[in-house]
Amino acid sequence: HPRIAASALKYWQATIAQLAFLEEPLAIVECDAASALSQLRSAPPQRDGAELNYWEVELGDGEHPSATLTRYRWSSDLIEREVMPYPVAFAHAGRLADALANALGALE
């Protein structure tokens, strides 16, 4: 997508900076210009023995911009990764929503 390509550095800096309060720092995993979808993940993920816990952020800059933030758990004994419930206080939920909205706004 042209807006992602043209403002990629600003976009990633804004997204990562806005979500710096999460447990782990984020890194770019994928940026698909054709589908206008970008993905970031915890890097490194939180390790607890053989289990990994990590954040995944998906940002879409299509006709209807979107942002999702999901906490996952993975281990070699699982067939697929699992979504982890993540309890947050109201103020923290607002901070997450603001951070994702600001990250999408960095594309403009």
pLDDT tens digits, 58-89 = 888 777 888 888 999 999 999 999 999 988 88
**Residue ranges per structural domain of the chain:** 2-105
Q: For residue 1, what pLDDT band results from cuts at 50, 70 and 90?
A: very low
CB-based contacts of 97, cutoff 8 Å, min separation 6? none
Please tell me the distance from the alpha carbon of residue 44 to that of residue 35, in angstroms, as a whole number.
Answer: 26
Pick from 9-13, 25-29, 99-103: least confident: 9-13
Residue 84: per-residue pLDDT: 94
16: pLDDT strictly greater than 70: yes
Q: Report yes or no: 33 and 67 within 8 Å, Cβ to Cβ.
A: no
26-31 average pLDDT score: 84
Pick from 36-40, 66-70, 73-77, 99-103: least confident: 99-103
CB-based contacts of 76, cutoff 8 Å, min separation 6? 50
Q: What is the mean pLDDT of the chain?
A: 82
33-49 average pLDDT score: 87
36-63 average pLDDT score: 89
